[in-house]
A and B are shown apart, each in its own frame.
Chain A
Amino acid sequence: MKLTLRVWRQQNADAPGAMVTYEVDGVSKDMSFLEMLDTLNEDLILRGEEPVAFDHDCREGICGACSLVINGDAHGPERTTTCQLHMRSFTDGDTIDVEPWRAAAFPVVKDLVVDRSAFDRIIQAGGYITAPTGSAPEAHATAVPKADADHAFEHAECIGCGACVAACPNGSAMLFTSAKVNHLNVLPQGAPERETRVLDMVATMDDEGFGGCTLTGECATACPKGIPLPSIAAMNREWLRAVRKGPRRP
């Protein structure tokens, strides 16, 4: 396949960026999207130009590093991560736009690389269960109904890639935050911090500059792990409950 790529190039956070056009030839349908970019980069290096910077690591769809907006869609046309998107989803002669995540809370670092550390700070605000090493009771001391365990797992699958934010017209992080709130709040182990968790995580989310939720639903459509849209409603319920009840603070 022969393709025309229009790629966002931006030298650093402060420099202006622009779309730059490249032709790539000899693209195999079996290549992943990132392998296609690898071949572009090999050519660029040999021509003495700087290769396109992009985040990637496991290339198995689980680390959450890769983060490209392809033809306007976060992670491209298939419901998966960019690294698991294959060129068989495109046809010979296509022109493909490649951009970084676009969100106020995810500033561009270089080219297609953005700063997602705001996600880490949301987790630091309460996305954990306080269980210092060594303090744990025997694992079977508390049975967890299978339905609750499955519900927790379904939300724990979030890979923190940020596609939900990139897809949202408001740049909201509600789906990301609700995934963690739902994972931990449904478990008996997470109950003692149930109220503080949701209040603190939501407050941090707002402080980090993510937008509000208007239930557009783009987030859940873009999510490569299928975190369901109702988890946002469930988090809102948790939040209201916590506000009414007042947080149990020491």
Chain B
Amino acid sequence: MSTSTNTTTSKSTATSTSTTTPTMSAYTDFSTGEPLADTKAPAGPVAERWDRRRFEAKLVNPANRRKHTVIVVGTGLAGGAAGATLAEQGYHVVQFCYSDSPRRAHSIAAQGGINAAKNYRNDGDSIHRLFYDTVKGGDFRARESNVHRLAQISVEIIDQCVAQGVPFAREYGGLLDTRSFGGVQVSRTFYARGQTGQQLLLGAYQALSRQIAAGNVEMHARTEMLDLIVVDGRARGIVARDLVTGAISAYFADAVVLASGGYGNVFYLSTNAMNSNATAVWRAHRRGAYFGNPCFTQIHPTCIPRTGDHQSKLTLMSESLRNDGRIWVPKAKGDTRPPAEIPEDERDYYLERIYPSFGNLVPRDIASRAAKNVCDEGRGVGPGGQGVYLDFADAIRRMGKEKVAEKYGNLFDMYERITAENPYEVPMRIYPAVHYTMGGLWVDYDLQTTVPGLFAIGEANFSDHGANRLGASALMQGLADGYFVLPSTINDYLARNPHATPVDDTHPEAVSVLRETRERVERLLAVDGDRTPDSFHREIGELMWEYCGMARTEAGLRKALARIPEIREEFWRRIKVPGTGAELNQSLEKANRIVDYLELAELMCLDALHRAESCGGHFREESQTPDGEAARQDEAFSYVAAWEFTGTGTAPVLHKEDLVFEYVHPTQRSYA
């Protein structure tokens, strides 16, 4: 039995929303296909489903494992953990990353912490509460089965990381310290100063290094996946480009795991690393993997505001700062006095005022939108009025400067380095920025996509966060998928498909994918136009931020959908990529990624347009409560939107997976 019941809602189609300009009717005139069901999650009590699935999954005999090759794309928390664990189990792993070393994956930049339902604080935490908080935080757009599994595994992750030597913060008694994070009322976040992602990633990287040295992992650094090879309906390999020599080659395996991260860089400015990109997932989507909830993106409330047009990326300040910092703007519009000169009664601590019980710790989507609202009212601070204060004066008075420095010192240093302002004396200025994408490749309970043999883990899949991710949950999900879920579920696939016929370069599918990839690269080099890759990236990014960012409207999304094909057309006419394909060519790498952003952006806008409700990070202005909160429409939209690719610029097919809530009953989220 599946968790998804194919009830009437999945048949009642919202099919066409195309009533406007003919230029884009082709794309917006999507059809609704067969409903989708997650057939892998077992029935029964939610707390027993993971055990049951692990028991029911077929195993591969240890002696046979070394005969199986698994490709893993990416070496972040999910990919690094999966590569190491699969190799420990005895599989032959072939792994890829675009960086010069697997240690540089962008998981390394996560600051705040990792959640786990250890209840070391005896503050009422439990697996069920973490499950409940995550489903609620995701605004009831995630699967209960997946989220419960995540909460269960969270406790094992901490054990595993401590065993690897991850230097988590500790109390004087030598036991692990925790802190609280946005959207919850318990203290369940384990951390390593402001560098938790770095320490967890190095743990996974070191485990992976051990397996590389043992010969169990064949590591290809500076090698980027450019396409997927599907043979007889199964994922059998990838095409990748050696970024140093430019050689484009095919690699083959019995299964392919994508751990290539999220697609936030479609917005150009985001907190993602400069080279994080969507090519692996988008190319897989083009080869048949459905894309789940592409419009669900997270705008993080505490980032350093931009300083000018030269800005190449945005820097996040850990949300843990909201534990002790107080967010405010002047009560009066256009108040340009320095913050110290604004008296207490002329300040609006708007989060504490609107949400008295959660205060500055409301979930990210709510904090971000509230910042946008006060700035839209003309009460923003700093250059262009695009900022709000995050003030530590009270915390310094209460705890002393030393204690504040111990908790947040490296974040304060980073802030000062970037802005040349001392946050111990002047309040920080912050503004929301794109940070994480909840959407991603659709996967079942086994983390398998709609292409058999193709798995997606970590941020690359859509699975556990619904419409909004809680703080300190990305690290948890990446490691849960990589260390524990995938290494269990992939056995079942490999055991059921034990004797795949060998495929090599001469197979017609491989020949054709290799040819297409080489042609695309040659075409990019041949245009020799008059615009740089960055100029196109910036243009699509600004369009997306304007119309598919923090607040979305039907009119705006339609405008973006009309514009994207024009940018795409212009791209192929005017792009300029110097140099050749047979060398290290960073312009070529960028241009090739932009090709995929220009298609993905269109799907994101279409998904945002079709989902005429607000939920989590997806705020449709047409669907809000009288006091401006997101209004979900469960009757119409309690489903996962999984999109099937049909061609560049042609209408995709929507497949709905109904969401069933047996344990956490959907309510309007309230953090007041």
Interface residues of A (CB under 8 A from B): 11-12, 28, 30-32, 34-35, 38-39, 42, 44-46, 48-51, 53, 55-65, 78, 80, 84, 86, 88, 109-110, 113, 115-117, 119-120, 123-125, 127-140, 142-146, 149-150, 152-153, 156-157, 159-160, 183-184, 187, 189-190
Which chain B residue lies CB-closest to A187? B165
Which chain B residue lies CB-closest to A67? B100
> Which A residues are CB-close (under 8 A) to B193?
153
* Complex alpha-carbon distance, A129 and B204, angstroms: 11
Whether the Cβ atoms of A42 and B532 lie closer than 8 Å is: yes
Whether the Cβ atoms of A146 and B312 lie closer than 8 Å is: no
> Which A residues are CB-close (under 8 A) to B586?
51, 53
Whether the Cβ atoms of A133 and B274 lie closer than 8 Å is: no
Whether the Cβ atoms of A62 and B534 lie closer than 8 Å is: no
> Which B residues are CB-close (under 8 A) to A44?
578
Binds A, one of B5-13, B104-112, B509-517, B560-568: B104-112
Top 7 A-B residue pairs of the complex, sorted by shortest distance between their CB atoms = A143-B174, A128-B206, A136-B163, A124-B213, A131-B163, A153-B167, A30-B307
A interface secondary structure, majority = loop
Binds A, one of B81-89, B180-188, B339-347, B636-644: B81-89
* Complex alpha-carbon distance, A164 and B175, angstroms: 33
> Which A residues are CB-close (under 8 A) to B195?
62, 157
> Which B residues are CB-close (under 8 A) to A130?
210
Kindly count the residue-residue contacts between A and B in the assembled complex, taking CB atoms under 8 Å apart: 215
Partner of B159, one of A30, A58, A78, A136: A136
* Complex alpha-carbon distance, A173 and B586, angstroms: 28
Partner of B165, one of A49, A51, A129: A129
Which chain A residue lies CB-closest to B120? A140
- With contacts A39-B310, A51-B578 taken as known, whether A65 is within 8 angstroms of B163 at the C-beta atoms is no
Partner of B171, one of A31, A113, A129, A146: A146
> Which B residues are CB-close (under 8 A) to A125?
213
* Complex alpha-carbon distance, A38 and B275, angstroms: 14
Shortest CB-to-CB span from A36 to chain B, Å, is: 8
> Which B residues are CB-close (under 8 A) to A88?
420
Which chain B residue lies CB-closest to A36? B310
Interface residues of B (CB under 8 A from A): 81, 84-85, 88, 99-104, 106, 108-109, 118, 120, 156, 158-160, 162-165, 167-176, 192-193, 195, 198-199, 202, 205-207, 209-210, 212-213, 221, 244, 273-275, 307-308, 310-313, 315-316, 414, 417-418, 420, 483-484, 487, 530, 532-535, 576, 578-579, 583-584, 586-587
- With contacts A88-B420, A117-B221 taken as known, whether A35 is within 8 angstroms of B167 at the C-beta atoms is no
Of B99, B104, B167, B173, most buried by chain A (CB within 10 Å of CB) is B167
- Contacts A129-B206, A143-B173, A160-B104 known; list 10 others, CB within 8 Å: A30-B310, A58-B109, A62-B195, A133-B81, A137-B159, A138-B159, A144-B174, A149-B169, A153-B167, A159-B198
> Which B residues are CB-close (under 8 A) to A146?
170-172, 174
20 examples of A-B residue contacts, CB within 8 angstroms: A28-B308, A45-B576, A49-B578, A50-B578, A50-B579, A51-B586, A57-B106, A58-B273, A59-B313, A62-B109, A63-B104, A63-B273, A124-B212, A125-B213, A138-B159, A142-B162, A144-B170, A149-B167, A156-B167, A160-B101
Partner of B209, one of A38, A39, A120, A142: A120
* Complex alpha-carbon distance, A44 and B169, angstroms: 47
- With contacts A117-B101, A128-B207 taken as known, whether A156 is within 8 angstroms of B202 at the C-beta atoms is yes
Partner of B176, one of A42, A110, A140: A140
